[in-house]
Amino acid sequence: MFSGYDFDVIQRSLPYLFREGMVFTLTLTVMAMTGGIIFGTILAMMRLSSLQPLSWLAGAYVNLMRSLPLVLVIFWFFFLVPYIGAWIVGSPQPIAVGAFWSAVITFTLFEAAYYCEIMRAGIQSIPKGQVAAGQALGLNYGQTMGNIVLPQAFRNMLPVLLTQTIILFQDTSLVYVISATDFLGAAAKIANRDYRLVEMYTFVAVVYFIISFSLSYLVKVLQQRVAIVR
Amino acid sequence: MNYNWQWDVLLQTASDGSGTWLRYLVVGLGWSLATALCAWILALTIGSIVGVLRTTPMPWVVRLGNAYVEIFRNVPLLVQMFLWFFVMPELLPQQLGDAIKQMPPPWGSFLPAVLCLGLYTSVRVAEQVRAGIQSLPRGQGMAATALGLTLPQTYRYVLLPMGFRIILPPLTSEFLNVIKNSSIALTIGLLELTGRARAMQEMTFKVFEAFAAATVLYLITNLLVVLLMRAVERKARVPGFIGSAPQNTGGH
């Protein structure tokens, strides 16, 4: 089974795979996670807002994103972002946006819908009495949220947020469809150039497995720690 | 934003001559659904078996089930798709591998796509089945044992009928996920809905019309599945057990 297996091609391409590909994947993951959690938290606060139009808008956005395949959303934004950019800058022509920034914007906006649902559950897990107590002490909405509700919500939801980030890490491989050079994209380029598809794709699978598996294990440990303190 | 919308492109003849572009996209939706349904049958079958095995009192079977789940959960779906499409035929005996590679399109990519999506989803089904069975009060299994039922009988007559009815809502969202995930099959050349929207965009340069049409088709499908399943869920609901199973935890 491994008789014709060429381990050398993997070794030769290691610097390219990791310095180009994995750096792209990890940067994209971290940026989309940060942006996604911030935007997702805002969406969650909007969804739980007593202002009807706000909660309706956020709900519609989240449901739309969750009903569409990620691949389609990637295509949408790949073509849409240049137009939005032109609209913001005020230029008459669509502006050029590279695959990387297009991917960052796409994943931030897409994952925000999923982070929103997690944060909504987190905010709802805080007893209503705490908000009431905050208001009774004269804190305004921002102070109650920022000092009382959100810190606890984040803490309660930390394992779920991280699990979602592992999913995000795996999903970034889909930037393949806009020909970006992430870890999988880099491997695919070498696989096709040297006709070493079997070697490259099994190697990619093993690397993804090791990273995701270790991260899920860490999340599990963290979950137990958080559970003990509470 | 100054984009020149031209919706009548949907009614123009598609470049493959089969009819209008709209028809071209709807046929794509058909392929998405066909892929998703075949994969779903596979996923339900394997997922139920693995899920049940993970709740049995036999430690090594549980460990085997856990290993299965971890393998399919920690590799990105796109990578799995490539493994099934590019790698699997090479690892099989030469004759069988060649036969798979020479299958006429779209079957050459349909079969790997179904296998990939089916096994990927089976893991998520297995998680739900396990959670459903474990959410039942322990007394139910004990009562079955006390009545003299064997282990298979306990599962067949007590645990599974209850478990499946409880996990119906999360299974619905898993089914919606399979439909969405079937779009990844475009990377191995299956012309399903998203793939056809992209092909249409490349042929006609009507980017947003093509993607908007695909978006609407996905939304309609979603809505229909949700409405249908809500009716089924109402029928199958176990009184007193509403929402006792954990809901879908993230993922797409």
Question: Phi-psi region for residue B92, left (φ > 0), alpha (ψ -120 to 50) or beta?
Answer: beta
Hey, are the CB atoms on A212 and B75 less than 8 Å from each other? yes
pLDDT number for residue B76: 96
Chain A contact for B92, CB < 8 A?
Answer: no
Give the percent of chain B with pLDDT over 70.
Answer: 94
Structural domain count, chain B: 1
Is position B243 within any domain?
Answer: no
Lowest mean pLDDT among A4-8, B85-89, B173-177: A4-8
Q: Tell me if B196 sits within 8 A of A72, measured CB to CB.
A: no
Chain B contact for A204, CB < 8 A?
Answer: yes
pLDDT tens by residue, B193-219: 999 999 999 998 888 999 999 999 999
Q: Kindly report the pTM of this predicted structure.
A: 0.90
- Measure in Å the smallest separation between the Cα of B214 and chain A Cα atoms: 8
Residue reference for tokens 């994947």? A25
pLDDT of B105 strictly over 90: no
Please tell me the distance from the alpha carbon of residue B91 to that of residue B84, in angstroms, as a whole number: 10
pLDDT of B222 strictly over 80: yes
Residue reference for tokens 């959100």? A150
Q: Tell me if B117 sits within 8 A of B178, measured CB to CB.
A: yes
Please give the residue range of the domain that contains residue B194: 13-235
Size of interface A-B (CB pairs under 8 A): 121
Please tell me the distance from the alpha carbon of residue B218 to that of residue A68, in angstroms, as a whole number: 7
Hey, how many other C-beta atoms are within 10 angstroms of the C-beta on B63?
11
Return per-residue pLDDT of chain A as tens, 230 residues.
556 677 888 888 888 989 999 999 999 999 999 999 999 999 999 999 999 999 999 999 999 999 999 999 999 999 999 888 888 888 888 888 888 999 999 999 999 999 999 999 999 999 999 999 999 999 999 999 999 999 999 998 999 999 999 999 999 999 999 999 999 999 999 999 988 889 999 999 999 999 999 999 999 999 888 865 55
Chain B contact for A68, CB < 8 A?
Answer: yes
Of A67, A174, A191, which has the smallest distance from its Cβ to B78's Cβ?
A174
CATH number of the domain where residue B128 is located: 1.10.3720.10
Chain A contact for B79, CB < 8 A?
Answer: yes
Hey, are the CB atoms on B78 and A79 less than 8 Å from each other? no
pLDDT number for residue B190: 92
* Residue A72: φ, ψ to 5°: -65, -40
pLDDT of B251 strictly over 60: no
Of A75, A160, A212, which has the smallest distance from its Cβ to B250's Cβ?
A160
- A136-162: b (≥16 Cβ within 10 Å) or e: eeebeeeebbeebbbebbeebbbbbbb
Chain B contact for A80, CB < 8 A?
Answer: yes
pLDDT tens by residue, B58-78: 899 999 999 999 999 999 999
Interface test with B, best of A62, A163, A173, A175 (most B CBs within 10 A): A173
A201 to chain B: closest CA residue: B83
Q: Which two tokens stand for residue B155?
A: 């599962």
Is position B5 within any domain?
Answer: no
Of B70, B71, B215, which has the smallest distance from its Cβ to A68's Cβ?
B215
Mean pLDDT of B224-249: 74
Chain B contacts of A80, Cβ < 8 Å? 208
Instruction: Identify the residue with better confidence: A198 or B248.
Output: A198
pLDDT of B247 strictly over 50: no
Is position B133 within any domain?
Answer: yes
* Residue A124: φ, ψ to 5°: -70, -20
Q: What is the mean pLDDT of chain B?
A: 89
Q: What is the 3-state secondary structure (H, E, C) of chain B?
A: CCCCCCHHHHHCECCCCCCEHHHHHHHHHHHHHHHHHHHHHHHHHHHHHHHHHCCCCCHHHHHHHHHHHHHHHCCCHHHHHHHHHHHHHHHCCHHHHHHHHCCCCCHHHHHHHHHHHHHHHHHHHHHHHHHHHHHCCHHHHHHHHHCCCCHHHHHHHHHHHHHHHHCHHHHHHHHHHHHHHHHHHHHHCCCCHHHHHHHHHHHHCCHHHHHHHHHHHHHHHHHHHHHHHHHHHHHHCCCCCCCCCCCCCCCC
Is position B245 within any domain?
Answer: no
Cα dist from B58 to B45, B54, B63, B151, B155, whole Å: 21, 9, 9, 11, 14
Please tell me the distance from the alpha carbon of residue B30 to that of residue B195, in angstroms, as a whole number: 12
pLDDT of B81 strictly over 80: yes
Please tell me the distance from the alpha carbon of residue B200 to that of residue B246, in angstroms, as a whole number: 41
pLDDT number for residue A110: 97
Hey, are the CB atoms on A114 and B250 less than 8 Å from each other? yes
Hey, are the CB atoms on A173 and B222 less than 8 Å from each other? no
B76 to chain A: closest CA residue: A170
Instruction: Identify the residue with better confidence: B195 or B251.
Output: B195
Does ipTM come in above 0.85?
A: yes
Of B2, B82, B187, which has the smallest distance from its Cβ to A201's Cβ?
B82
Interface test with A, best of B31, B79, B184 (most A CBs within 10 A): B79
Give the residue from A194, A168, A191 showing the smallest Cα distance to A181: A191
**Alpha helical stretches, state H, chain A:** 7-15, 23-47, 52-67, 70-89, 99-124, 128-136, 141-143, 150-171, 183-194, 197-229
Residue reference for tokens 């296998």? B115
Chain A contact for B189, CB < 8 A?
Answer: no
Q: Which fold has domain A7-229?
A: MetI-like fold (1.10.3720)
